[in-house]
Amino acid sequence: MLQQTRVAQGTPYFLSFTTVFPTVFDLANASEEQVLKLWQGLGYYSRARNLHKTAQTVAHEMGGIFPDNYDDLLKLKGVGEYTAAAIASFSYNEAVPVVDGNVFRVLSRYFDLETDIAQASAKKEFAALASELMPKDNPAQFNQAIMEFGALQCVPKSPNCSICVFNNSSIRDMLQRKKWETDKTV
């Protein structure tokens, strides 16, 4: 429901949805018309259709048991890599990186990467890097922390780097200090 939607905008829809459809079986047995009517105003109606189809799959083919791992979550209609990773990590503590715009920004700044995130290879590069950094004993906490850090501290515009906890440890800063020291000695 929150794909490309702010939490504040989606919350009233979520509350209405869970009131009318308190279980996956209730949603699965609803008509598409009922689902779309409750979704009205939220936009991206394919999300509603996918959610409905996924509820039908989970209810009727899986006995109401949701997949509990990244690979099986990807098999559900409308569930892509990001959503599968988020569910697997936050619900089941699976060691899979959840890479969003905040994570791209934090990692690219910390490691001084200039990869264009619009490139197809970028997602794999950043997921591999995040996976390498992620502690395997508590991946959900790592994923939540790096996402929140990007949202609250390492913001897109005018980040306050002077108070950043990584201020003196980022690769970029180290390279800049090294360059400054080299320039100073020449």
Q: What is the pLDDT of residue 185?
A: 54
Specify whether 177 is located in the same domain as 122: yes
Look at residue 148 and tell me if it is in a domain: yes
What residue numbers bound the domain in which 36 lies? 1-66
Look at residue 166 and tell me if it is in a domain: yes
Look at residue 126 and tell me if it is in a domain: yes
pLDDT band at 112 (very low <50, low <70, confident <90, very high): confident
Number of folded domains in the chain?
2
Question: pLDDT by residue (tens digit) across 76-92?
Answer: 999 999 999 999 999 99
Alpha helices in the chain (DSSP H): 7-20, 24-29, 32-39, 45-56, 70-73, 81-92, 101-110, 120-133, 139-152, 171-185
Is 114's pLDDT higher than 60? yes
Look at residue 141 and tell me if it is in a domain: yes
